[in-house]
């Protein structure tokens, strides 16, 4: 794995779009500190009427817009090389500065909610731009603490983020993987190589050896990682109790604007009703690959590994343009800009964050991180992240900084939608049975397995963890391993052997440090599946509705956003229909495999 300074510049993102020089970055920090001080001087203990409400919100909005590129620059520079001392110190500095600013300005929320509600309603009526923000403030009123307590909590912001930072430092800096050996030949190993290549390797001996080597190294860090996670959970539980929520679940779901019913439904229905379909898929993989035993280490392999083409970064651009053409001309221009202006970091290097993500700073273009392996399935990963980019490209242009971001429940709908659109395009443009099987198997193995199985099983495990924490308990490596193993065994039954090391997959997921996030992937894909089917049936009318949903940003609840797109998530019908759709895809894979085997 090469170092960051050895990668090709054209495979990296261009952070100069945020700050051209380090000096400008430092000057921006000074500016926001000064503006925060002015806001405190001008407004603390002085917010008495509707006009003052609007003045302080306008000043706070402008400050937030200036803070966003600072936070983004520090975070993105650190994410591509967490071994970089300068990036570590820059990120730490921003965390400390912003914690102080947030503490100093915590009075804004406290004073606003101490006003009579009639004053807030008057301010809302005077300025529609701030109406949604004020409504959300009023909703939070019963959970607000004393102003001094709010200031203290805000001051500890950087400290409360420490578990996530510790997790990433352990994972991406301290853990050093040795090479592993198969039949006298050695192979390199790292987080990105395992998750991007070795998990998908068609050679069973190499794949299983890589899994064993990877798990052996993870196990050496399980106790530190478990203690870090337990610390994070205790912080969440403490704040939940302090604010008076009935449970930690209610606390974490509050900002998602959904209730426990939607949360539990997603986990319970999929665990019960999707499992039989996915077990069939596992059996099909076992049959095609001639495996005597199907193990957990074999679940990510391709149904037809000899067919999957290799694809260059430039070739991926053509797929994005064609596959997402249905989204319209403005969307196409965004895709061109993403490649031409280096919004995407494709490089693989030591210290880089695993997986893929999209950061969409308000007032700037999005930035996408991915570690390009040249496998065709990366087309779906890139389409996914461009879905996030397209969402905020449109929402940020239409909404103010307070209104642009929707509920976490909805956040994965636009990203998974792009995966479905890409699949629709590929299937519409070929009648070849083998190609159709490859596309459908990729949808199942990449889109649905990743979002409806991997992340859903993480959610089922996470729920068990939070139940322990909510009762006042603690967790350690032994407990977490048992919980993860039980979830995997319940889902896969006797059809997949949950081998040693499978229980350690809880160590690999940063989403556990982001609240109740894992289950939202299946929630988003449920919406995306239904809307993508509607686009196939209705064409431009459905596309126009979807674009309007994206533009709405966070001005609507998840239920309202889904309704705008023609989906009613207040019932279990969309989820059951999506599970049935996955079952029909596996039916097609079984039929196509039988057809191909008899040619």
Domain positions in the chain are 4-158, 178-220, 258-309+387-599
In angstroms, the CA 372 to CA 313 distance is 8
Burial of 237 (0-12, 13-18, 19+ CB in 10 A): buried
* Chain mean pLDDT for the chain: 94
Taking residues 380-400, report their average pLDDT: 96
Tens digit of each residue's pLDDT (9 = 90 or more) over 496-530: 999 999 999 999 989 999 999 999 999 999 999 99
Rounded to a whole number, what is the distance in angstroms from the first to the last CA of the chain?
A: 42
| pLDDT for residue 286 | 96
pLDDT higher than 70, residue 294: yes
pLDDT higher than 90, residue 474: yes
Structure tokens at 475: 């967790």
| pLDDT for residue 196 | 84
Residue 429: pLDDT band (50, 70, 90) is confident
pLDDT higher than 90, residue 471: yes
Strand partners, 295: 497
SS3 472: coil
Tens digit of each residue's pLDDT (9 = 90 or more) over 7-54: 999 999 999 999 999 999 999 999 999 999 999 999 999 999 999 999
Structure tokens at 162: 């420490």
SS3 content of the chain, % helix, strand, coil (to 5): 70, 5, 25
In angstroms, the CA 61 to CA 392 distance is 18
Instruction: Please give the share of the chain, as a percent, with pLDDT higher than 90.
Output: 87
| pLDDT for residue 69 | 98
Class of the domain covering 258-309+387-599: mainly alpha
Higher-confidence position of 242 and 354: 242
Contact present, 596 and 434 (Cβ < 8 Å): yes
Phi first, then psi: give them for residue 411, nearest 5 degrees: -60, -30
| pLDDT for residue 438 | 87
pLDDT higher than 80, residue 460: yes
Instruction: Please give the share of the chain, as a percent, with pLDDT higher than 70.
Output: 100
Class of the domain covering 178-220: mainly alpha
Taking residues 543-552, report their average pLDDT: 97
| pLDDT for residue 355 | 85
Q: In what order do the strands lie in the sheet with 357-359?
A: 344-345, 367-369, 357-359
Tens digit of each residue's pLDDT (9 = 90 or more) over 77-92: 999 999 999 999 999 9
Contact present, 543 and 537 (Cβ < 8 Å): no
| pLDDT for residue 432 | 84
Tens digit of each residue's pLDDT (9 = 90 or more) over 550-594: 999 999 999 999 999 999 999 999 999 999 999 999 999 999 999
| pLDDT for residue 433 | 87
* 582: nearest Cα among 450, 489, 460, 485: 450
- Rounded to two decimals, the pTM is 0.90
pLDDT higher than 60, residue 599: no
Taking residues 67-79, report their average pLDDT: 97
Tens digit of each residue's pLDDT (9 = 90 or more) over 335-344: 999 999 999 9
Superfamily covering domain 4-158: Oligopeptidase f, N-terminal domain (1.20.140.70)
In angstroms, the CA 233 to CA 221 distance is 19
């Amino acid at each position: 794995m090469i170092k960051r300074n050895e990668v090709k510049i054209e495979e990296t993102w261009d952070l100069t779009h945020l700050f051209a020089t380090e000096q400008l970055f430092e000057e921006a920090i000074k500016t926001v500190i000064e503006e925060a001080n002015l806001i405190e001087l001008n407004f603390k203990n002085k917010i008495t009427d509707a006009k003052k409400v609007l003045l302080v919100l306008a000043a706070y909005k402008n400050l937030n817009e200036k803070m966003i590129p600072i936070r983004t620059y520090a975070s993105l520079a650190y994410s591509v090389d967490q071994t970089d001392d300068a990036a570590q110190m820059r990120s730490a500095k921003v965390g400390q500065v912003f914690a102080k600013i947030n503490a100093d300005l915590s009075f804004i929320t406290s004073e606003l909610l101490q006003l009579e509600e009639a004053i807030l309603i008057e301010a809302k009526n005077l300025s529609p731009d701030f109406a949604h923000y004020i409504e959300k403030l009023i909703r939070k009123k019963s959970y607000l603490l004393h102003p001094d307590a709010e200031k203290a909590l805000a001051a500890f912001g950087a400290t409360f983020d420490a578990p996530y930072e510790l997790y990433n430092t352990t994972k991406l800096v301290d853990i050093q993987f040795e090479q592993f050996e198969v039949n006298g030949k050695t192979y390199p190993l790292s987080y990105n190589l395992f998750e991007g290549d070795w998990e998908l390797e068609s050679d069973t001996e190499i794949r299983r050896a890589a899994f064993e080597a990877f798990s052996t190294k993870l196990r050496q860090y399980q106790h530190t990682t478990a203690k870090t996670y337990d610390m994070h959970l205790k912080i969440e539980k403490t704040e939940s109790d302090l604010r008076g929520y009935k449970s930690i679940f209610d606390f974490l779901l509050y900002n998602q604007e959904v209730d426990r019913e939607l949360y539990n439904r997603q986990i319970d229905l999929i665990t019960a009703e999707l499992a039989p379909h996915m077990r069939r898929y596992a059996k099909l993989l076992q049959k095609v690959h001639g495996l005597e035993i199907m193990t957990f280490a074999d679940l990510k392999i391709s149904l037809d590994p000899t067919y999957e083409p290799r694809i260059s970064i430039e070739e991926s651009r053509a797929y994005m343009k064609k596959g997402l053409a249905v989204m319209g001309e403005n969307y196409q221009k965004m895709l061109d800009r993403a490649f031409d202006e280096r919004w995407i970091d494709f490089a693989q290097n030591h210290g880089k964050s695993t997986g893929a993500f999209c950061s969409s700073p308000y007032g700037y273009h999005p930035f996408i991180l991915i570690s390009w392996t040249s496998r065709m399935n990366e087309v779906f990963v890139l389409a996914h992240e461009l879905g996030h980019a397209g969402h905020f490209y449109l929402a940020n242009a239409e909404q103010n900084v307070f209104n642009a971001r929707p509920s976490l429940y909805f956040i994965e709908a636009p990203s998974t939608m792009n995966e479905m659109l890409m699949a629709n395009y590929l299937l519409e443009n070929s009648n070849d049975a083998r190609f159709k099987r490859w596309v459908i198997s990729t949808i199942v193995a990449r889109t649905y397995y990743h979002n409806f199985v991997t992340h859903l099983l993480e959610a089922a495990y996470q729920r068990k963890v939070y139940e322990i924490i909510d009762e006042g308990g603690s967790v350690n490596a032994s407990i977490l391993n048992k919980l993860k193993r039980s979830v995997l065994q319940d889902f896969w039954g006797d059809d997949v052997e949950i081998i040693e090391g499978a229980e350690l997959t809880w160590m690999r997921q940063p989403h556990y440090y982001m609240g109740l996030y894992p289950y939202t992937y299946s929630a988003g894909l449920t919406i995306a599946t239904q809307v993508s089917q509607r686009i196939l049936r209705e064409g431009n009318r459905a596309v126009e509705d979807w674009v309007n949903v994206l533009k709405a940003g966070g001005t609507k609840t998840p239920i309202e956003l889904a309704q705008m797109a023609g989906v009613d998530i207040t019932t279990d019908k969309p989820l059951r229909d999506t599970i049935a759709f996955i079952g029909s895809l596996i039916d097609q894979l079984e039929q196509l495999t039988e057809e191909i085997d008899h040619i």
